Amino acid sequence: ESAKVTDMHLAQARAERDIDGRIRALRNARAFVGDDDEREAMVLRLLARALQDRGRKHGAATSEGRRDLAEAAGLFEESDAFAAAGEAFLELDDRDRAAMAFSKGGLVERVEEVLAEQEREQSRTRRLEDRFRDYELFMQGGQREEALEALEACVEAAERKGDYRRLLSDLRGRVLAQHRLPLDIGGKSVLLVGRFPLVLGRDGEAGLPVRGPSVSREHAEIRWDEEAQRYLIADRDSRNGTKLAGVDLGGVVALPPSARIDLGDSCRIDASVVAGESTPILRLEVKTGIDRGKLAVAAPGAIPLAACTAAASSAADGSQPSASAPASSTALVPSGAASASVRFERGRPQLGAPSGTLLRLNGAQVAGPVQLIRGDRVEVGTLSIVVEEG
């Protein structure tokens, strides 16, 4: 009687076009097939194949798919179809059980292949974990170029690369590499510039971007004369001309310690030069026009944070720095920040401070130097600065 019922359910399974219906019929056949029925292994394998087909349709990444694939692997193993069982376990990334199934079937070469692949995978996982740990440490310590290299290694090592690629893209987008560093110091925006000639104009990539009806894309430039240790200014064939202290520029002119620069008639910039530790420090403040209040501090070498805090303070109260006053004067500088400075290496801003200076990056104490990127929050002594996102 059981044999007839089994035959009926097997016939129903063959007739079923719907995978769920076929699985139901095969489950019924399994329930009635006797332990001594030579067809038991066949029924188990047919059910395993049907479950495997449905599991693949759902996908091994889904809970439904994994459930079906796991049951299929177990049924193959139960029916002594060890090769099929091993392959099914591999679909579930269960190499240990796959190796055991192949071993039961005497498939020595497949066992060796699985174990070798398992060792490669474990090595790849260890390498990935090590490099991601390196990335986290480099990020925390301010070594952003090294962090980029570590993330690139993670992308290369990872089987699922999406998350690492997103982290890499985000970090690349935050890296500053144009010799410019936009800081927020006490609520005042200060742009640090370390490349000369420093272009003044509408171009967003200019050293100091400024806008106005009379301002050309690249209106004027300030140069650094290394031999004479002074700044020079020249017009860049602008449409509306450049004036220094109300006089049209006829060529390259030395920039005095304190000067007014007019880009056409819609943008005035006050320039001042103060003594620095190694080179004079140039301060530029936009006084009229669309970008009124914009402030930049520039130098061809290291830019002391003292120069930035002093510029922000004097811009806030409307005072002008004295040409004889050193940029590193500590009168307006919070404790611990007087000797800290920023220099640009391959366009990337590096913040350094003497040994013993308390330096925190995003809440964690670091030894420095620190490569600053967009969004960084830095504490140097009692001075707090933020690298602006824009």
Residues of the chain with pLDDT under 70: 1, 35-36, 316-338
Shared domain for 329 and 262, answered yes or no, is yes
Shared domain for 45 and 185, answered yes or no, is no
Shared domain for 156 and 102, answered yes or no, is no
Domain termination site, one of 106, 123, 146: 106
Shared domain for 156 and 192, answered yes or no, is no
CATH number at residue 55: 1.25.40.10
pLDDT number for residue 361: 96
Shared domain for 247 and 144, answered yes or no, is no
Shared domain for 92 and 236, answered yes or no, is no
pLDDT number for residue 358: 87
Domain that holds residue 55: 2-106
Shared domain for 229 and 326, answered yes or no, is yes
Give the separation between CA 121 and CA 110, rounded to whole angstroms. 16
Shared domain for 223 and 359, answered yes or no, is yes
Shared domain for 187 and 248, answered yes or no, is yes
pLDDT number for residue 246: 95
CA distances from 166 to 19, 146, 342, 371 (A): 39, 17, 29, 21
DSSP sequence for 237-301: S-SS-EEETTEE--S-EEPPSEEEEEETTTEEEEEEEE--SSS-EEEEEE-SSTTTT-EEEE-SS
111, part of any domain = no
pLDDT number for residue 254: 97
Span 203-252, pLDDT tens digits? 999 999 999 999 999 999 999 999 999 999 999 999 999 999 999 998 99
Shared domain for 154 and 271, answered yes or no, is no
Shared domain for 269 and 336, answered yes or no, is yes
pLDDT number for residue 332: 47
Domain count along the chain:
3
Helical pair 2-15 and 19-32, crossing angle rounded to 10 deg: 170
Give the separation between CA 165 and CA 158, rounded to whole angstroms. 10
pLDDT number for residue 272: 96
Shared domain for 160 and 73, answered yes or no, is no
356, part of any domain = yes
Please tell me the pTM assigned to this model.
0.73
pLDDT number for residue 336: 58
